[in-house]
Structure 1
Amino acid sequence: MATMDAVSGLRSFSFDTELNEEEKKLLFLRARSAGLTFCGCAHAVYLCSLVHSLRRIIKSHTVNTGKDGDLCVGILGMGHMGKQLLLSILGMTGIKPSHIKVSTRTPQSAVESVHSEVECFCDNRRLAAWADILFLCCLPSDLPKVSADLHSHLEKHCLVYSFTSAVPVTRLARLLGHSFILKPQYDFVPSESADVWLSCSHVTTALTDPLLIEASSPLEMTGAISLGLNWVCGVLYSLLNICTSASLGSSDALSLINSLFKEKSTHAVQLTAESFICSSYASSLLREEPFPWISLSDAQTKETPLLCFLSSNKSMQHCISAAYKSLLETPVKYK
């Protein structure tokens, strides 16, 4: 027999009944917090799915080196964001739990919320040396110690993805001595549309909601939250760097990256060498020659050929948005 909420619909029992007018003005913070957590997890899942797919395609197109092609994901910090991120990656990607590791100051207390196959320890340097993608979910106050731990221990190919607020990507690059860093920069403008995020009490459940997926689409965001083109540029340059680290020629790199998007949209748009680098360099780049390594800290803070291309190409924006929605609406789950 179904249970009934005895106070459902009774306004006098809602938590905000006793708030004064000044306090009610702060209610938007609930929606802001829920929305930023949801979008952060959704966009991280999107990135992991793209990188995981690309690495598998690269492995199938290159000589077997004996290395495992699966993506290795590290999460540094197991506070609210770290826990939600872990659950999202486990539930929404095809990444094996054994390919996810967590470093936290209190691994004993975090074990209960971690999948049995996810290794949890307290060793930031060990995590940095192992991970292909390293998510920073630490507080700004912890960043000096974390930076000291990670400095000189990050492999060049390791993509650092920072959720640490109030620390710009340029400063983080200096602290870590590392330029392969991606940091989403969200803007929030309080409005009634932000209420859409109030249903995100459980992020993993919310990630299956088509309306919330639509609202979080990076280039078409609604719900009072926005994310600039620079983040999308950073994602695409990350994919390019992964191809470069695998010594793929520019022609093969473009073909593989385009393959991640071409089946997700009816818009037939192709990324070319000129989309990523200046036309003079692109014209001299041989098909079998890899692209140059791109500094993501520069790519997110300066005007790049890719930013100019995306800004003026609505078809490519639609293509990227379609890929985002498709990946989240039909996630590949680990079996």
Structure 2
Amino acid sequence: MAAKLKALLNAQENKHDITRNLPSLTFESALDEEEQRILYLRQQSHAHTTLVSASCSFLVSILNEVRQIRADLAKTSQQRRAIQLLTADTLPKNPLKIGLIGCGRLGSHLVHALLSFGEVNPADIQISTRRPETLNTLKEKGVSVIYNNIEVASKVHLLFVCVLPSQLNKVLEEICQNLDKQTLVYCLVNHTTSHRLKRLLQSVNIFIPSFVFDNSTSNAWNSCMSVEEALKDEQMVRKCCPLSNEGKGSCVHLTEKWVELVICAFINQCSDLQLTSRDALDLLHGICMGLDKLEKGTANRFVERDFIINWDDDDTEPRRFPKFDLSKIHENDSHVIKKLRTSQILQEGFTKKFLSVFRSHDDVHEQTDERN
């Protein structure tokens, strides 16, 4: 209630601001004709940063969620009840450990987004950067900031690589011998390939997001908002979701391949957590798609054969999925993405779940304001 009242007051103040939207006071008014022609780059840069922050926050949120559920499944019903009573509103169980190598402008926005929307405890984030002294704000929040790539890479479940292209080879060669094979490496370095990362890291658990830049729609992106403000605005978040109509038409957008990689990375983590294929698929529909009530056997539900063509459905013994080679998924379409493209229910479910990650943040803050 307090948050809504504050927004209403701000709207009333803006109504009486005679300088609001005055063309002579805008950023564009000081640009000459040549600079005006490349103004779209400003929108694209802001859109790319917001999209990276949103998509990574979503990925971290669902990977964290399945880890909490797995931790609960390991307990008896009596133990779970006792733990729920004792640990209500406290730190998550078996949290996802996150690392960043390189933390410039993009990395900094990413970390702030994870803390705000990814439900991540600051103590579960480790950063390695050449200039730790520039990240005092994150240090004060409890994030570990050092300059030791090997130490960070060896202690995390998910590693974001945010270095310059010229630094990538050296960094990967430095960490490859100390990287756990279960660690998911999410590379945000431009102009690199899955084959290159696989060769340098000797790992198949590699995730490279593919972005599409559309110059014709850049003017439709509101770059006047901060990244954090954009992630609190539902219309802006819709533009960050690759399966929403708004996302497909945004000036910078992720392809459907990103969703396929998210799904396979999620299944890989379920296998790492010793979950059977049936449990993994149930959690996939419930956590990633927001479709926990989707009946089994329907055409809109993923089955084992969507991932493994020669899967034996007659085998009654519970089995885990094998570890998927994400580097190959970058280049070839599987039955997963084919089903995703043809199922409106799956697309709508994924979009709804994507939006909920950022909407739940507002609900938490609104409840806090009401208690205060």
Same fold (TM over 0.5): yes
- Partner SS, residue 328 of structure 1: helix
Cα distance between partner residues in 2 of 1:139 and 1:197: 27
Question: Which one scores higher on RCO, CA 8 angstroms, separation ≥ 6?
Answer: 1
Aligned to 2:307: 276
Give the Å deviation of 1:261. Answer: 4.4
Question: In the alignment, is the contact (CA less than 8 A) between 2:67 and 2:96 conserved in 1?
Answer: yes
Aligned CA distance change for structure 1 residues 248 and 92 (closer, same or farther; 3 Å): same
**Alignment RMSD (CA, Å):** 2.7
Give a deviation string over 1:70-103, Cα, whole Å, max 9, x none.
Answer: 1111111110011101100111122211111111
In proportion to residue count, which structure has more helix? 2
Give the Å deviation of 1:264. Answer: 5.7
Aligned CA distance change for structure 1 residues 103 and 44 (closer, same or farther; 3 Å): same
What percentage of aligned pairs have identical amino acids?
A: 26
Aligned CA distance change for structure 1 residues 333 and 122 (closer, same or farther; 3 Å): farther
Matches within 5 A, 1:125-164: 125-164=150-189
Give a deviation string over 1:140-159, Cα, whole Å, max 9, x none.
Answer: 11102111111121111111
Q: 1:95 aligns with which of 99, 102, 120?
A: 120
Question: In the alignment, is the contact (CA less than 8 A) between 2:285 and 2:291 conserved in 1?
Answer: no
Unaligned runs of 5+ in 2: 1-12, 77-91
Give the Å deviation of 1:315. Answer: 1.9
Cα distance between partner residues in 2 of 1:266 and 1:193: 39
Give the count of matched residue pairs.
Answer: 331
Question: In the alignment, is the contact (CA less than 8 A) between 1:180 and 1:295 conserved in 2?
Answer: yes
Give the Å deviation of 1:285. Answer: 5.6
- Partner SS, residue 253 of structure 2: strand
Give the Å deviation of 1:281. Answer: 2.3
Q: 1:219 aligns with which of 243, 268, 271?
A: 243
Give the Å deviation of 1:205. Answer: 2.1
**TM-score, length of structure 2 as denominator length:** 0.81
One-letter amino acid matched to 2:73: H
Cα distance between partner residues in 2 of 1:284 and 1:150: 43
| 1:57 to 2:87 alignment | no
Aligned to 1:234: 261
Aligned to 2:231: 207
- Partner SS, residue 161 of structure 1: strand
Aligned to 1:47: 59
| 1:291 to 2:317 alignment | no
Look at both structures and tell me which one has the larger radius of gyration over its CA atoms: 2
Aligned to 2:287: 260
Aligned CA distance change for structure 1 residues 181 and 262 (closer, same or farther; 3 Å): closer
Give a deviation string over 1:14-72, Cα, whole Å, max 9, x none.
Answer: 343353433211000000000000000000000000000011111111259xx951111
One-letter amino acid matched to 1:247: Q
Give a deviation string over 1:136-186, Cα, whole Å, max 9, x none.
Answer: 111111102111111121111111111111112222222222211111111
Aligned to 1:28: 40
Aligned CA distance change for structure 1 residues 137 and 261 (closer, same or farther; 3 Å): closer
Q: 1:173 aligns with which of 194, 198, 201?
A: 198
